[in-house]
Structure 1
Amino acid sequence: MEANQPGDALSFDRPTAAYIHIPFCRRRCFYCDFPISVVGDKPPRSRQVGQSDTGFGTIAEYVDLLCQEIHTTPVLSRSLATVFLGGGTPSLLTVSQLEQILETVDQRFGIDASAELSMEIDPDTVDLDRLRGYRAAGINRLSLGVQAFQPELLIACGRTHTPADIYAAVEAIHRVGVTNFSLDLISGLPHLTLDHWQDSLSQAIDLNPTHLSVYDLTVEPGTAFDRWYTPGADPLPSDEATAQMYRIAQKTLTQAGYHHYEISNYARSGYACQHNCIYWENRSYYGFGMAAASYTNGQRFTRPRKRREYYQWIQTLVKQNGTIDCPIVSQNERLLDTLMLGLRLAAGLSVPGLIAQFGEAIVSQVLDCLQPYQRQGWVVLEGEQSQRLHLTDPEGFLFSNVVLTSLFERFAAQDAELLA
C-alpha cells in the first residue's frame, strides 16, 4: 500500500476491494433503513438453479445495469483481494446472476485466486443446490443474517425466517464445504431479555461459525421501530440492559475462543473479515450498485439511494466514460476518518503511522484530546514510546461514541488548511 504523506493530497493507495450492493428483499425488516426494493414473499428456492423468477424480473434488470456500471468504472488496480456482496438480500440472486456479476468484476479488475469472496445470505432464501451454485461461482465466505434464535423475537423484528431455517442453512453451508462463515446477532431488540441474549449467544457458539458479528439495535428515523418505540423504554431494553448485553457478549465469545478484533466483530484465529478490515484501516475500495459508497483516488462517493435515480446515474456515467466528479477528501476529513475507523479495531492505530500521515503537531493534539479518557480507563497508549493507540475492551469499546464525539468536536471545526 502506498502511504499518504503529510501535505500530499494526491498520494493514495490502490483499491484492492470491491463492495457490490444487491438492494432486494422479500420484505423490509422493522428496524431497517437500508436502501432496498421489496420484491415480495415468493421464495427463490422454488425455482431451478439459474432460472429466472416470475415476479423477480427487476433483479435481472438491476444486475444488467450493475454490470454496466462495473464495466464503465476506470481501472485503478488489476488485482482484487476481496469482493463483498451485501444488501438487501444477495441470496435472492440466481446462480447465473451471481456468475454474471463476478465474471464482470473479474474481467474488468481481476480477482486474485486467493481472494476472499463474501456474500450475505438470509436463512430462508437458500438451500443446498443454491449454495452449491454459489460455491462453484467462487463464493468462499458466507455471512448469515440470524439476528435472534427465539421465534417470537424474529417475528417482533419482521424477519421472515425461523430458528429451524437457521439450522438448516448452517447444515447446508457445511455440506457445500464453506468453512468460513459468519453469523449476525442483534442485541437491544424489543422484548429481548438477558436470558434470551445468553441463549442466542450459546446457540450461535454451538453452530461453530468462524466469525460472529454482534450489533446493538439502533432505532433509525423513518423505520417501523421509530414509529412504534422510544429508545430505552419498554418494550426495548434499557440503556443499562443493552450495555450489559455488550459485556455478556464480550465475555461469552472471548471465553469460547473468539478474538474480539473490532467493536462489533469476533473471529476465530485467521478468520477476521478481510474486506471489512479495509474499511476500518481507511484504505481505498470500489463500490458498485444502488447507494454503494466508494473511496478511490482520495474521493468518497455514494451512489443514488433509489433505483430509478441510480439507473439514470448509470446513463450519465456511461456518457462521461466513467468519470465521477466529486471533491477530494480533505486532510482534516481524512484524519477524522482514520481515527473514527481505526479506533474501532482492537489493534487500534499506530502512532508513528499517524505522525507520518498528519504530522507530529496534529497527533499531539489528538493525544491531548484523549487524555481524559486514558484516565477513565477507556483509551490506552502502549508499547515502547507509546507506539499504539487503542480503546480498552469492553469498556472503551462500549463508550467509544463518547471518545469519538470528543475527537470530532475538537477537529471537525478546524480549517482544513491547518492540516494540509
Structure 2
Amino acid sequence: MKNAYIFKIETREINGTWCTQTIQCQTQNGLSCTTNRCFCPPFYYWSGTKCLLRQTVNTNCLNTYECQDYNGLRCLNLTGGQTCECLTDFYWDGSSCVPKLTHGTSCTSDSECDNTNGLICGVTCKCPFSYYWSGSTCTAEKTHAQSCDYTYECKRNLNLLCIGTQCSCMPLMHWNGTKCVFKQTNGASCTSIPCQNYARLSCIANTCQCSSPEYWVTNKCQRPVGINQYCDGTTYKCQSGLECQGTGTGNYLCQCPSGTYWNGVSCSAYRVYKETCDGWKVPCDYSKQLKCLTTAESTSCYQGFAGKQCTCLTTDYWNGTHCTKKLLNQQINTKTCECRQDLGLERRAYVSTYTCYTSAQNNYCACDNLNYWGFEKCMPKNLQSSFCTTSCECREDLGLTCIAYVNSGSCFGFYHGKQCQCPNPSTQYWTGTAC
C-alpha cells in the first residue's frame, strides 16, 4: 500500500510509550493508543508483558493499580500478604467499596460494620456482649457501684440497673460481691443474703420472718385487718383482740368478741350494772338491757348516784343478771322497787283480816289499802254509794262493802246493781265519813 506504515509485531510500542494510532501499540498484548499513549483499556492494567483484568477483592496483588481501584480497592497487607482490599473505613458490598455502617444500621455480616468502633453485626450493627454504644464507640459495661447515666451502661448479665447515678441491683436483689442475686424469702436463712425487705420480711434469729403481728401470705407479710374490715381467717386475719364474725355467706368482718366494744384502739368490756358510762363512748352492756342513765332516768331500785351509770329503765329492775320488766299486780317480788310503782304497786304485807286477799303472802306486788287494782293500775277505793263489782273496790277501812239492796228503807233512793254501802242498813248508816 502506498504511504502506509507497516509495523512489525516485535517492534510495536509497549505500555506508556508515545503513539499516534493503535497499530503502533502491542495490540496483541491488549494495548491501544489513547491520548497518544499506548495504554491498556479501562478495567485492565499492564503486568509488564500484557494487559490483565484488574483484580477484585481478596485477590493477591503487588500494586494498587492491579486492583479495581475505580471501585475503591487498594493493594493492602492486612492478612499477612498483599491483597486487593477496601480501606479500613470501607467494606466490599459485592461490587465496590462503600463506607462501613454505623451503630443501629441493618447489616448481614461483621465486615459491614465499623469495627474501628468495636461494632459487630447482629441484624444491625451493634456492640458485642458486655459493651454498650456511647454515641461514638463501643464501651465496656460498668460493674456494681460505678457511675452511670443509663441502665444500658451497666452489666445487665449481672442484673445491674442504673439507679440514681450508680450501677446497682434492683430492689428485689442484693449484690453478693460478683452479681445481683434475689433476696431471701420467708423461712430462708439470712446469714449471708438479706431478706426481701420489699415484702416486709426481717432477719430474726438468722431466718427471714414477718415481724409480729404480721404474717406471711403468698409473697408478702400481711398486716392484720382492723375493726369492721373484711376477714377470712387465712389471707385476711383480724388483729389481736378481734374476731372474724359473719353470716356464712361471705360477709365476714372483724368484730369485738361478745361482751366487748371498740373504744377506738382496742376492744373493752361493756360497762355492767352500777358502773359509770358515757353513752356510745363508754357504753353499757345492752345485751343485758342496761342503759346509760342519770338518777332521774333510772329505776327506783338504784338512785342517788352522780353523773351517768349503767342501770335499768324505770319500768325495769335488775334481777342479778339482767334488766327485766317490773312486776304487775299479784306477782311475787322481793322488794318494792321490783313492782310497777308508776302504776301504784308496792310490795305488800297482808294480814289475814284483810278481806281482799286473805291468801296473799308478804312478797306480792299490790296496791296499798286505800287503792285497788283496776284498769291496769291502782285506783282510789270508792266511797259510799259508788258503783262497784267487789268489796275490794270500796273503802273497807270505813266500813263499806260492795252489796246490792232492794230499797225498803228511807235512807237510799232506788238503784240497780252493786254499790259501796254500809253492810247492815237496819243497824248502820253513813255519817259522811264512815259507817
Question: Is this a same-fold pair by TM over 0.5?
Answer: no
Calculate the TM-score normalised by the size of structure 1. Answer: 0.17
Pair member with larger Rg: 2
Calculate the TM-score normalised by the size of structure 2. Answer: 0.16
Structure with greater strand share of residues: 2
